[in-house]
């Protein structure tokens, strides 16, 4: 327990299942003697805390402060909840584990059904550690940075309007690659290769690969295909077209940055990495089989 004495609880209350899972987790952690820090907004589970340990003081904090004060963070929800937490917690280096209450759950791989058993093993030091890198995106206008955001899954540049193309020049490490007219482009990490990029026809990248995939979205040419480049590349997009066009730069589908014709978009690997914990025996390929519907005939 000394390794993870203080544990943060992160979740988006609202559904009956998520609320009950958070209450179970709080009772479980307090009964084991852990200090608990709750993400702001989950105060409603105070009753569970008092039931587990009467008169127990529970600290509350925003994500940034929570990470700085915890040895471990447990995220309850789907991959969307994990994405939001990851962008904040990677800076503090706080390890993260996910309890899946979503539909897919590539990142939140512990089931509520055996949550206490799996977490007891993990909290005792029996786990697998995996590091995932993030992308850092900036929007530059006339040589000045005007906006910035981070992404664990992907950075997507798109028109912001249905059935309208955008035009951009792509550079990688200052080398011109192509000018493209399309519905946009997805720049995905290995973590994000099984998300939006996969739906757009991109390849699946194993999480251990130090690479980024660029997937065109409905390009206006049959020869445009996904491109895999080293993760330490600097990817630069020059937004072309008419001045009235305002493409959006979206990070993980959760943060939107407005751009203009003439803007320069820079995407780089973020120096800090997310520390993701899994129960012992975790298999990425098993996750692909169960989440993507691959055949189990070889089992």
Residue 148 in marked binding region: no
The top-level CATH class assigned to 2-125 is alpha beta
Which of these, 24, 55, 238, 285, lies nearest to 141 by C-alpha position?
A: 238
- On the question of pLDDT at 31 being above 70, the answer is yes
Tell me how crowded residue 228 is: count the other CB atoms within 10 A of its CB: 17
Which of these, 167, 289, 145, 138, lies nearest to 238 by C-alpha position?
A: 167
Residue 153 in marked binding region: yes
Residue 181 in marked binding region: yes
Tens of pLDDT, residues 236-251 = 999 997 766 789 999 9
Residue 79 in marked binding region: yes
- On the question of pLDDT at 52 being above 60, the answer is no
Q: 211-217 and 248-251: which strand pairing?
A: unpaired
Tens of pLDDT, residues 160-200 = 877 688 999 999 999 999 999 999 999 999 999 999 999 99
Angle formed by the axes of helices 115-123 and 16-31, nearest 10° = 40
- CATH 3.40.50.10330 intervals, the chain: 2-125
Residue 80 in marked binding region: yes
Residue 183 in marked binding region: yes
- CATH 2.60.200.30 intervals, the chain: 134-271
Mean pLDDT, range 200-217, rounded to an integer = 97
Whether 170 contacts 212, CB under 8 Å: no
| DSSP per residue, 70-113 | -SEEEEEE-HHHHHHHHHHHHHHT--EEEEE-SSS-SS--B-GG
- On the question of pLDDT at 253 being above 60, the answer is yes
Highest mean pLDDT among 41-55, 63-77, 239-253: 63-77
Q: 59-61 and 35-39: which strand pairing?
A: parallel
Domain 134-271: CATH architecture, name and number where available: Sandwich (2.60)
Which residues are known catalytic residues?
79
């Amino acid at each position: 327990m000394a390794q993870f004495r203080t544990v943060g609880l992160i979740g988006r209350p609202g559904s009956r299942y998520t609320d009950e899972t958070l209450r179970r987790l709080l009772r479980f952690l307090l009964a084991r003697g852990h200090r608990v820090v709750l993400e702001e907004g989950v105060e409603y589970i105070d009753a569970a805390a008092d039931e587990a340990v009467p008169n127990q003081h529970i600290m509350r904090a925003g994500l940034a402060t929570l990470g700085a004060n915890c040895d471990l963070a447990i995220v309850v929800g789907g991959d969307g909840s994990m994405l939001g937490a990851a962008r904040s917690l990677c800076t503090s280096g706080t390890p993260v584990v996910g309890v899946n209450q979503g539909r897919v759950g590539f990142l939140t791989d512990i089931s509520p059904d055996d949550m206490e058993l799996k977490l007891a093993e993990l909290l005792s030091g029996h786990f697998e550690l995996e590091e995932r890198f993030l992308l850092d995106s900036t929007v530059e206008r006339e040589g000045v940075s005007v906006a910035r955001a981070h992404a664990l899954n992907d950075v997507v540049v798109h028109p912001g309007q249905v059935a309208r193309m955008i035009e951009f020049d792509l550079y990688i490490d200052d080398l011109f690659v192509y000018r493209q007219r399309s519905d946009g482009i997805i720049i995905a990490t290995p973590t994000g290769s099984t998300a939006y990029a996969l739906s757009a026809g991109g390849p699946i990248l194993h999480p251990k690969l130090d690479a980024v995939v660029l997937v065109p979205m409905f390009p206006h040419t049959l020869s445009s295909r996904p491109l895999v480049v080293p993760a330490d590349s600097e990817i630069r997009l020059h937004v072309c077209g008419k001045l009235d066009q305002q493409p959006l730069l979206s990070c993980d589908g959760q943060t939107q940055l407005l751009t203009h014709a003439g803007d320069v978009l820079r995407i780089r690997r973020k120096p800090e990495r997310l520390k993701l914990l899994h129960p012992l025996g975790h298999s990425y390929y098993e996750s692909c089989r169960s989440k993507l519907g691959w055949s189990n005939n070889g089992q």
